[in-house]
Amino acid sequence: MSEINGSAQSSGSSAGIERNPQEMRVNMSAKDLSPEDRKMLHSIYWRSFTEYCFWAGEAEAGSDGFIYSMIPAFRRYYKTEDERRDAMMRHTTWFNMTENVSTFVMGLVASMEKENSEVEGFDTSSIDAVKASLMGPMSGLGDAIFWGVLRCIAAAVGISIASTGSALGPILFLLIYNIPSMLCRWWMTVLGYKLGSSFLSKAYASGVMRILTKAAGILGLLMIGAMAASFVKFSCALAIPVPNADAVQIQTYLDAIFKGLVPFSLTLFCMWLLQKKVNVVWIIIGIMVLGLVFGMTGVVAVSA
């Protein structure tokens, strides 16, 4: 188990956590970096879009994308082919992170490779150690915020507009998701390069991360509720005949109890089944059969 030694400390983790929340006001602009720095970061940024386009199997995962993205840094800091080859081989290790935050590690590794090229006797295992330790936690946050919440919001808006047949739906979906995603990707690149891992300690100490995660949970659940109400459709066509009066529509009664009672309960029921480890394929088959029966027997009113 490789230890994170002194060399890693110099790349940024401070001796003590700053408790002053003012420290959180970080400068995310790249304007105070040199033009060569900026050019390199830009290059890493654009290359990172292809991170997972191939995948070196379960053994090395996104290493090919990582190497490809880091080539600008290798080119810049290592002048001999031997050094570049060493750098490439160093990064054939397993790598898998939420793509839009992975550039933080890329920026950070770039700054560490720079140090490696300048300092004699720099322990390169610290680069591996930092990569390995940051991958997990940052992906946890990244997955929750991007795959969980942002995607939900974008999809909810997209689906509701697209259901009317408008191409604006998918376009809005792509915009709502990708604009924050691309911005985050850039900021992460700059932050990783400029601030190193001490940024994370400070962020954590100010409590911002936990608050963010909870906020993501709230917003996500809210959107899923809204989506369940809009996209799960059930409209009962049955009526109980009443002598000498109009037939009583069952749907009216259902609505009186709670509007959207069936979609709401059905969604929660499916979730409960999933929590009880029922295989999702069975649930899908079950719902399909249920729907078929309802539709064929006329229990449900279906508009064309």
| Binding to other proteins in span 105-124, by CB under 8 A | none
Cβ proximity to other proteins, 10 vs 31, nearer residue: 10
Q: Of 177, 186, 187, 193, which lies in the binding site for other proteins, with binding defined by CB under 8 A?
A: 177
Cα Dmax for the chain: 98
Cβ proximity to other proteins, 33 vs 175, nearer residue: 175
Q: Of 44, 135, 190, 195, which lies in the binding site for other proteins, with binding defined by CB under 8 A?
A: 135
Cβ proximity to other proteins, 248 vs 271, nearer residue: 271
If one asks whether residue 254 binds other proteins (CB under 8 A), the answer comes out as: no
Q: Of 79, 225, 247, 248, which lies in the binding site for other proteins, with binding defined by CB under 8 A?
A: 225
How far lies 169's CA from each of 73, 151, 232, 258, in Å? 39, 14, 18, 29
The C-alpha atoms of residue 147 and residue 46 are separated, in whole angstroms, by: 21
Q: Of 30, 107, 112, 169, which lies in the binding site for other proteins, with binding defined by CB under 8 A?
A: 169
If one asks whether residue 192 binds other proteins (CB under 8 A), the answer comes out as: no
If one asks whether residue 277 binds other proteins (CB under 8 A), the answer comes out as: yes
Q: Using only the alpha carbons of the chain, give its radius of gyration.
A: 26
CB 248: neighbour CB atoms within 10 A?
Answer: 13
If one asks whether residue 186 binds other proteins (CB under 8 A), the answer comes out as: no
CB distance 250 to 300 below 8 Å = no
Q: Of 41, 154, 188, 190, which lies in the binding site for other proteins, with binding defined by CB under 8 A?
A: 154
If one asks whether residue 56 binds other proteins (CB under 8 A), the answer comes out as: yes
If one asks whether residue 79 binds other proteins (CB under 8 A), the answer comes out as: no
Q: Of 40, 44, 153, 195, which lies in the binding site for other proteins, with binding defined by CB under 8 A?
A: 153
If one asks whether residue 194 binds other proteins (CB under 8 A), the answer comes out as: no
If one asks whether residue 24 binds other proteins (CB under 8 A), the answer comes out as: no
If one asks whether residue 250 binds other proteins (CB under 8 A), the answer comes out as: no
